[in-house]
Structure formats: C-alpha cells, structure tokens
A and B are shown apart, each in its own frame.
Chain A
Amino acid sequence: MMFLRKQLPIILAFVIGLGLWLQAYIPHRTSSAGLTTFTQSWAVILAGCALLLGILSAVHHHWTKIKLRRQGFAYSIITLGAFVVTLVAGLSWWNWPGFGAAKMADGSLFTWIFDNVFTPLAATMFSLLAFFIASAAFRAFRARSFEATALLIAGCIVMLGRVPIGELIPLGGGHDLSDVAGWIMNVPNAAAQRAILVGVILSQVAISIRIIFGIERTYMGGSD
C-alpha cells in the first residue's frame, strides 16, 4: 500500500518527466510522434477525470451543506437544482415540450438555458465589476506615496488613452494621450511583463526538477 501511495507516484513522475524532457532534444519523427500521442491521450483522459472529480466535489460540498442546514444552504439547493436540470437537458435524447431539438443542438432546452439563463447571469456578474471598480477607485486610489502617485498617473493615462477620448487630448508635436498610453503598454509594461514571465518560467523549471527527482512531494498530499 505504501508503495502505491509513496514510491509509485515518484517513479511515474521521474520516468515520464525525464522522458518528456529528453524527447524535446531528440529531433526524430518517431520520438516526437510517439511521445506526443502518448502524452496527449493521457492528458485528455486525466483532464476528463479531473473534470469529473470537480463535479463530484462540488456536488458533495453542496449536498453536505444542505444536509447540515449550514448558513446559505438555500443557495446550494439552487446550485444543485440548476446542475441537475442542465445535465438532464444536455443528455436527454427526447425533445422537451416547446423545444425543437434534443441534447445540445440548436433549439434544444439546453441551448435555451445557455442563451437565456447562463449567458445573462455570467455577463451580469462580469458587468458588476464596473460598478465595484468605480467605487473602489474613489475610496482607495490615493496618492499616499511616490509609488502610489506614479501608479495613479500611469493608470489614468492608460485608462484615458485606451478609449477614443484619449485621442482627443493633444499633447503637442502631433501626439496625443493615446500615444503615451501606447508607449506605456509597449515599453515599460512589456519589459515588466517579460521579467515576470521569465521569472515564472525559471520557477517552473526549478519546481519541475524538484518533482522529477522526488524532492518536491507536496503534490501527493502532505508536506515534503
């Protein structure tokens, strides 16, 4: 049992990690095709399992909340109800009364739910950000220090420069505010983003080496 829980994951991580790493340096068709086909099949299978696990975990969480009558359990009833209705609508092979098609085809109940429930709700949630950002900017965006003032000025320039009104604010020499916003995005922003990207990738390399050689074991649950 200990072998399955401890040693086997480390052996799998070592063999597959090292194999895929070496494959990138072997420019032969067989190496590329064989390993990418293998990886692709397994990645799709694992991603499908992860999706299923996510669904089961969410259902378990909400079911427990309802069973124990925890605070806000009414929302869990709505969540599970919506989940069951959408699932049945998407899987059912018969035409629901009033709908012209089954499963996920155009005119089906599933499509109706997507167009008339999911789409407006998702768009509303995202749109609320405009209201929250306006209120938060008014309350929290203060020129308390040099860094905060620089961020505030750059933020205001980019906000104005990335909408048409920025092109109506002339700065002399044939330039306007949108040119300054474009420069901020293309030069300081690109430089900072590149630095972040390189840092993230170097960290990924480091963590990959730690996983391949069994130094990093937190992915198995528990501490290393």
Chain B
Amino acid sequence: MHNLAKIILNLDRRIIYSVVMLCVAIPLIRPFGLPFRVTPEVRDGYELIESLKEGDVIVISCDYGPSAEAETHPMYVALLHQCFRKGIRPVILTLIPDGPGLANRGLEDVLAYQDAEGQKPYEHLESGKDYVFLGFKTGGQAIMIGIGQGFTGTFPTDYNAQETAAMPIFRDAPKLADTKCVFDIASVGYPDFWIPYGTERAGIPFIVSCTAVSAPQYYPYYAAGQATGLIGGMKGAAEYESLVDMAAITGSDGPATKGLDAQSAVHVFIILAIIIANIFYIIDRRRPLSGGVA
C-alpha cells in the first residue's frame, strides 16, 4: 500500500495534464447540458438594465484583453444584444491597451448579427446616435474623472476618428451623470476605481462583470449596494446569457453556457485529485520508519 502511495504521490504531471485536456475536450465536443440557476447577484444586474427605457444611455467599460476572453467576452456580447433589443444606447470605451480589439470585434459581430429568418435586426443602428465606441485612452482614474466632466472633452474623437462633439448621443448624455449606469466588464482591477472616481461621484449605479478569480474581491461592494450587480466568471456570464435568452436570439446557447460543462468536469477532476492525493498522503505518513530506533 505504501508503494502504491509513493507511485500516486509522484504521479507524472503529464498524466494529470492529459486528464485535464480530456475533461475540457469531451464536454465541448459532446455537451452534457447541465442545468443551472441564476444567482441574485447576476439577476440584480440584469434587472437594472431591463428597467431602463428606450433611448437611455449607459457606459460599458471593456477592461479585458484576450487572456480573459473566454470568461468576459460572452458577457459583453449578451449585454450588447440586451441593449440593442431594448433600444438602450451604449457608450463603449476601454481603459486597457489590449481592450479595443475585442471590444470592437464584439460590437461588429453583434451589429452584423443575422437572425434565423436572415434579417439583421441591428442593421439600422448608427454610430454616434444609437451607440458609440470611443476606443482606448490611457489614464485610468483620470479618464473616469474626465468623463464625469464631459465625454467629448476627454474623447474628442471616437475609435473611427469621428468627432464626438457633433454626436447626438452626447447631446443627450454629455457627461457621466447623464447616463443611467456603468457596466464594467473587467479582467483587471478597474472596478475598484470606477466606484470612487466614476459612479459614486456621478450618483449612478454600477455593475461589475469580472473573471471568476477576481469576483471574491468585489463582494463587499455588492453587499454595500455600491455595485448593483456582480457577474463573476463564466458561470455568471452563462447566467446572464440565460436571462437575455441568447438561445432564442442566436438559435444556440451562448459561448459561456457551452463552456460550463467543461468547467464543471475540470473542477470535479481537481477535487477528486485533491481527495485522492490526501488519502495517499495520510497512508504514506503512517509508513513505519525503516531505520532503527536511536
């Protein structure tokens, strides 16, 4: 038994890697379709957006890069569908240098979306009037303070080099306080700054969507009511997709929902690995000493 414990505890890491790979690949190829509930943190964020009227303006801060695409990008796509379907006008910006690529791609994909009947429901939407993508500007907290004074002063042009001063969206919402909320989709620590420098100064609600690993640090803001909604990781994004009903919009589950089975399988494997390793660790620890007694 002790020899077995020694073998197990010194298991080649390539075996563990192979099992992880299978745990990810198999559910992606043949999904189990595990059901899940919507948590109150996610529902609160969704209901705030749902409560807005047609023509209302919100700010979406896409503070994530490709490394966190799997967890955060599905949330952005689902949110854009929700906004465009309801006639809510998003002002999209990013505070990190690798943010514009994904933010622009997500926006282009949603605008070009074609339903089952071949219609493009968002084709009529105009940049500067129904939405705007401002791109990236360095400065972080200074940008948050700046848009509190006015969007067009901080971003004189949008991502496509169009002057923002003449845009109808900024005539209706010239500064942050005139928008209805900030929705920060982040893989970095900007939600910590949006609250004191952005939303609390402007007196508007804040919703945070982040990677699973950073979600625990935002629970105090949610508990205090400084964040109206908290959407953590792929599970949170999948819950939001189910609320937006991405399956009905696009004809299939959203990417976060599709990825949840793989995440479940990997989590189960890691827990089994921890349990097995601890059992054999206890067995190994009880091994009688081979040497003589001093």
What is the interface of chain A, defined by CB distance below 8 A to chain B? 33, 36-37, 39-40, 43-44, 47-48, 51, 104-106, 111, 114-115, 118-123, 125-127, 130-131, 133-135, 137-139, 141-143, 152, 156, 159-160, 162-165, 167-168, 178, 182, 185-186, 189-190, 193-194, 197
Bound together, the chains give a CA A126 to CA B66 distance in angstroms of 9
Residues of B within 8 A of A48 (CB): 138-139
A33 → chain B, closest Cβ, in Å?
Answer: 7
Given contacts A40-B142, A47-B140, A194-B220, contact A138 B274 (CB under 8 A): yes
B283 at the interface (CB under 8 A from A): no
Smallest CB gap from A185: residue in B: B219
Is the CB–CB distance between A193 and B216 below 8 Å?
A: yes
Residues A118 and B101 in contact, CB atoms below 8 Å apart: yes
Quote the shortest CB–CB distance from A106 to chain B (angstroms).
Answer: 7
> From residue A96, how far is it (CB to closest CB) to chain B in Å?
17
Which residues of chain B come closer than 8 Å to A120, judged between CB atoms? Answer: 66
Question: Closest Cβ of chain B: how far from A83's Cβ, in Å?
Answer: 13
A-B contacts, 22 listed (Cβ < 8 Å): A36-B146, A39-B145, A40-B154, A43-B145, A44-B139, A104-B100, A111-B101, A118-B101, A120-B66, A122-B98, A123-B69, A131-B16, A134-B269, A135-B13, A135-B16, A137-B273, A137-B274, A138-B270, A167-B36, A185-B216, A190-B220, A190-B222
Cβ of A19 to closest chain B Cβ, rounded Å: 15
Give complex CA distance A164, B270 in Å.
15
Partner of B220, one of A39, A105, A131, A193: A193
Residues of B close to A51: CB separation below 8 A: 97, 138
The distance in angstroms between the C-alpha atoms of A104 and B136, with both chains bound, is 12
Q: Are A164 and B216 in contact (CB under 8 A)?
A: no
Docked Cα-Cα span, A193 to B19, in Å, equals 34
- Please state if A186 and B223 are interface contacts (CB–CB under 8 Å): yes
State in angstroms the CA–CA spacing of A33 and B175 once bound together.
13
Q: Which residues of A contact B235 (CB under 8 A)?
A: 162-164
Do A134 and B142 contact each other (CB < 8 Å), given the known contacts A106-B104, A111-B101? no
Residues on the B chain within 8 Å of A142, using CB = 277-278, 281
- What 9 A-B pairs have minimum CB-CB distances, sorted nearest first? A43-B142, A164-B34, A122-B66, A119-B66, A126-B67, A164-B36, A190-B219, A44-B139, A194-B220
A123→B219 contact, CB < 8 A = no
B271 within 8 A of A: yes
Interface residues of B in 269-294 (CB under 8 A from A): 269-271, 273-274, 276-278, 281-282
Q: Which residues of A contact B35 (CB under 8 A)?
A: 164, 167
Binds A, one of B116-124, B166-174, B246-254, B260-268: B260-268
| Bound CA span A106–B233, Å | 29
State in angstroms the CA–CA spacing of A105 and B189 once bound together: 28
Pick from B34, B101, B141, B267: contact of A43, CB under 8 Å: B141
In the bound complex, residues from chain A placing their C-beta under 8 Å from that of B138 are 44, 47-48, 51
> Which of A126, A135, A165 is close to B68, meaning CB atoms less than 8 Å apart?
A126
Least CB distance from B178 to A in Å reads: 16
Contacts A43-B141, A137-B270 known; A162 to B233 CB distance under 8 Å? yes
Determine if B165 is an interface residue (Cβ-Cβ < 8 Å). Answer: no
Contacts of A141 in B (CB 8 A): 274, 277-278
Mask of B93-133 contacts with A, CB within 8 angstroms, 1/0: 00001101110110010000000000000000000000000
Known: A126-B67, A197-B217. 5 other contacts (CB 8 A): A44-B139, A159-B270, A163-B263, A164-B36, A186-B219
Complex Cα–Cα for A111 and B9 (A): 47
Least CB distance from A131 to B in Å reads 5
A127: B residues at CB distance < 8 A: 70
Shortest beta-carbon distance from B194 to chain A in Å: 15
Partner of A36, one of B70, B102, B145, B261: B145
A134 to B270, CA, bound (A): 6
**Nearest Cβ in chain A — how far from B58, in angstroms?**
22
B137 touches A44 (CB 8 A): yes
Of B67, B100, B260, the residue contacting A122 (CB under 8 A) is B67
| A164 pairs with B101, CB closer than 8 A | no
What residue in chain B is nearest A125 (Cβ atoms)?
A: B67
Whether B157 is near chain A, meaning CB under 8 Å from some CB there, is no
Contact check, A33 vs B260: say whether CB atoms are below 8 A apart. Answer: no
- Measured CA separation A185–B235 after assembly (Å): 14
A152–chain B nearest beta-carbon distance, Å: 7
Most buried by A among B140, B160, B235, B269: B235
**B contact residues around A143 at 8 Å (CB):** 278, 281-282
**B48 contacts A by Cβ under 8 Å:** no
- A49 CB, min distance to chain B CBs, angstroms: 10
In the bound complex, CA of A135 to CA of B273 (Å): 9
Q: A138 contacts which of B101, B141, B222, B277 (Cβ < 8 Å)? A: B277
